[in-house]
Amino acid sequence: MIVNRDVLEAEFVPSEILHRHSEIEHLSAVLDPLQSGGRVDGALLYGPTGTGKTCTSQWLLERLEQQHDDIHTTHIDCWSNSSRAAVLHRLNEAVNGPERTRLTRSSPADEIVRKLKHDLEQPFVVILDEADQVEEEVVLYELYETPNVTTLLIANDDAEFFAPLADRVGSRLTTLPRLEFPAYEPDELVSILEERADHGLRPDAIGPDCLEVIARTADGDARVAIGILRNAAEKARATGADRISNEIVLEVA
Ligand SMILES: Nc1ncnc2c1ncn2[C@@H]1O[C@H](COP(=O)(O)OP(=O)(O)O)[C@@H](O)[C@H]1O
Ligand SMILES: [Mg+2]
């Protein structure tokens, strides 16, 4: 039933991002000056969960890093790094590597900010994922003010997160370009699921009508859709079924 479990996991970064052409174009255009030695402040990416904000930005940064030896990138999950110190330490580790990090692990946050501002000579693009979880928002502003750091802020709700930020840490952050990631249409989810099923499941393990049931149930959220596919595949395996049926899908959805 399952031939490659990895591609059914939420953390998997697909080699091909479907239905995000305009978002990829827009973000590429925003980051384009980096390719010719220019500076980019960053961008705000927002939209409901499971709309590809994380995978699209990671996919794009991986490519940027591969194409340019002097551009470096990292991804920081602000759910698990919500304090100013945690964000700055993760960034410091990413910039300086494990060797230097050992020496600077105890560096106070202020010292890290100072060093990034003065010592960072090459572009460093950082995804601050789930940025609405950051408790000390001043760090968002500090990174914005750091010349060679480009910050991609990801949050669910534009108005809820970005608008009040203006009052708290200054309006300049809110002038960053904004990219909206809308919920997927059912047929878009079907093709995302097809791709995962092709790589993750035995041929013919699931039919198109069944993928459509999953897509409609997932309500625009690719994470939910892939989760249902994974659970249905496991249920089918556990019960010895050779195909995933609508009944199995409805049981696990
Ligand atoms: N356009 C897409 N093409 C292929 N897979 C996608 C696409 N969008 C989302 N996914 C997959 O769906 C899951 C959720 O996507 P994610 O980027 O984490 O969403 P978000 O960050 O918006 O919550 C991940 O497993 C991701 O690989
Ligand atoms: Mg995400």
- Could you list the pLDDT tens digit for every one of the 253 residues in the chain? 999 999 999 888 888 899 999 999 999 999 999 999 999 999 999 999 999 999 999 999 999 999 999 999 999 999 999 999 999 999 999 998 866 555 555 678 999 999 999 989 999 999 999 999 999 999 999 999 999 999 999 999 988 887 788 777 778 888 899 999 999 999 999 999 999 999 999 999 999 999 999 999 999 999 999 999 999 999 999 999 999 999 999 999 9
Pinpoint the residues of the chain covered by CATH 3.40.50.300.
21-180
Identity (one letter) of the amino acid at 12?
A: F
Q: Do strands 178-180 and 149-155 pair parallel, antiparallel, or not at all (unpaired)?
A: unpaired
Q: What is the DSSP letter of 219?
A: T
Instruction: Quote the CA–CA distance of 218 and 48 in Å, as a whole number.
Output: 12
Cβ atoms of 93 and 101 within 8 Å: the answer is yes
Q: Is the shortest distance between the CB of 58 and ligand 1 below 6 Å?
A: no
By most ligand atoms within 8 Å of CB, the mutation choice from 17, 45, 55 for ligand 1 is: 55
211 Rama class: left (phi>0) / alpha (psi -120 to 50) / beta: alpha
Burial class (CB in 10 A: 0-12, 13-18, 19+), 120: middle
pLDDT, position 92: 92
User: Yes or no: is domain 5-12+184-252 CATH 1.10.8.60?
Assistant: yes
Token output for 214: 């999953």
Three-class HEC string of 124-190: EEEEEECHHHCCCCHHHHHHHCCCCEEEEEEECCHHHHHHHHHHHHCHHHHHCCEEECCCCCHHHHH
| Ligand (nearest to CA of 222) | 1
pLDDT, position 136: 92
Q: Is the shortest distance between the CB of 17 and ligand 1 below 6 Å?
A: yes
**Radius of gyration of the chain, Cα coordinates, nearest whole angstrom:** 20
Pinpoint the residues of the chain covered by CATH 1.10.8.60.
5-12+184-252
Instruction: Quote the CA–CA distance of 152 and 141 in Å, as a whole number.
Output: 12
Cβ atoms of 214 and 193 within 8 Å: the answer is yes
Domain covering 21-180 in this structure, CATH number: 3.40.50.300
Q: Is the shortest distance between the CB of 230 and ligand 1 below 6 Å?
A: no
Q: What is the DSSP letter of 34?
A: G
pLDDT, position 172: 83
Instruction: Quote the CA–CA distance of 199 and 70 in Å, as a whole number.
Output: 33
Report the atom number in ligand 1 closest to the C-alpha of 195: 4
CA angle 110, 115, 121 (to 5 degrees): 150
